[in-house]
């Protein structure tokens, strides 16, 4: 009885081995896209800022419209009062991976609440230069 069980198990193992031994197709390597040097271009969709607790939260969707990747995209938000003095702000740095051409990323900016917040401005830059941001209603 044990011999039959052992032979059945061995037969099962040997029948699976040829399937496992077949060569796997290699995964496609990631395509390298050279980074943008100088001015990069992006499109930005900005949702209205909302107060969440003791912070003003601004959510941006950014699409890379440059021909190259954007490394270390940085966004600085500045909040102004009625006399146009800076009263609050927050920085953001996209550290995950370069933003590839056509890729869309979501950025969340959290600024501390201050009395008299009236309007905000977001400035962009990247590791190798400035960024020209174009506000849009929707991505094409």
Burial of residue 101 (number of CB atoms within 10 Å: 0-12, 13-18, 19+)? middle
In this predicted structure, what is the pLDDT of residue 96? 87
Answer yes or no: is 78 within a domain: yes
The per-residue pLDDT of the chain, averaged, comes to: 87
Q: CATH number, domain at 92?
A: 2.60.40.10
Give how far Cα 87 sits from Cα of 52, 57, 66, 91, 110, Å.
18, 15, 33, 14, 14
Answer yes or no: is 22 within a domain: no
**Whole-angstrom distance, CA of residue 23 vs CA of residue 19:** 9
Mean predicted confidence (pLDDT) in 123-135? 96
Answer yes or no: is 79 within a domain: yes
**Whole-angstrom distance, CA of residue 52 vs CA of residue 38:** 36
Answer yes or no: is 35 within a domain: no
Q: Which is more confident, 15 or 74?
A: 74
pTM beyond 0.85: no
Q: What range does the domain containing 97 cover?
A: 40-135
Answer yes or no: is 7 within a domain: no
Number of domains in the chain: 1
Question: Bridge-partner residues for 133, per DSSP?
Answer: 42
32-91: pLDDT as tens digits: 889 999 999 999 999 999 999 999 999 999 999 999 999 999 999 999 999 999 999 999
Mean predicted confidence (pLDDT) in 3-20? 58
């Amino acid at each position: 009885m044990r011999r039959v069980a052992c032979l059945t198990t061995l037969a099962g193992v040997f029948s699976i081995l040829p399937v496992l031994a077949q060569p796997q197709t290699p995964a496609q390597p990631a395509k390298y896209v050279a980074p943008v040097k100088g001015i990069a271009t992006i499109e930005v969709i900005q949702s209205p800022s909302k107060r969440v607790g003791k912070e003003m939260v601004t959510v941006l969707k950014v699409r890379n419209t440059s021909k190259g990747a954007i490394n270390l995209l940085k966004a600085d938000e500045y909040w102004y009062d009625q006399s146009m003095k800076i009263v609050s702000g927050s920085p953001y740095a996209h550290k995950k991976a370069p933003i590839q051409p056509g890729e869309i990323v979501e950025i969340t900016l959290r600024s501390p609440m201050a009395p008299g917040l009236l309007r905000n401005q977001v400035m962009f830059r990247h590791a190798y230069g400035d960024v020209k941001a174009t506000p849009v209603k929707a991505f094409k």
